């Protein structure tokens, strides 16, 4: 069984026991999260597509940790003008494990 779920404006295909990185959520480690914006649910032979969401369907997950992505360096330079700027950015993510996918009624 799998589901397509929308989390923070992005869509993810999830199954039970999957782990994934999602945009940062305000939750601590071992907290439980429930996502109810399920766009599609499939159990292998039956597919339910929502309009826009599947009624009663939800995905339950456990927060494993809050992490940061690798550093992305941005370097700007204008030749012959003595202008150089280097900036770095590390995006924050929440690492979750999907516990259950329920298809609802």
User: What pLDDT was estimated at residue 105?
Assistant: 65
Residue 84 lies in a domain: no
The model's pLDDT over 12-44, given as tens digits with 9 standing for 90+, comes to 999 999 999 999 999 999 999 999 999 999 988
The model's pLDDT over 38-96, given as tens digits with 9 standing for 90+, comes to 999 998 889 999 889 999 999 999 999 999 999 999 999 999 999 999 999 999 999 99
Which of these, 61, 56, 50, lies nearest to 103 by C-alpha position?
56
Residue 88 lies in a domain: no
Domain range enclosing 18: 2-66+93-102
Residue 39 lies in a domain: yes
Residue 87 lies in a domain: no
User: What pLDDT was estimated at residue 44?
Assistant: 84
Which residues are CB-neighbours of 82 under 8 A, at least 6 positions away? none
Higher pLDDT pick, 98 / 50: 98
| Rounded Cα gap, residues 53 and 51, in angstroms | 5
Q: Which tokens belong to 38?
A: 């399920």
């Amino acid at each position: 069984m799998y589901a397509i779920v929308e989390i923070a404006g992005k869509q993810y295909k999830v199954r039970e026991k999957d782990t994934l990185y999602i945009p940062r959520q305000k939750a601590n480690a071992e907290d439980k999260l429930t996502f109810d914006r399920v766009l599609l649910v499939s159990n292998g032979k039956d597919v339910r597509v929502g309009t826009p969401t599947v009624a009663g369907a939800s995905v339950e997950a456990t927060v494993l940790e809050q992490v940061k992505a690798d550093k992305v360096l941005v370097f700007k330079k204008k030749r012959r003008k003595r202008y150089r700027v280097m900036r770095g950015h590390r995006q924050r993510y929440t690492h979750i494990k999907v516990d259950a996918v329920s298809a609802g009624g």
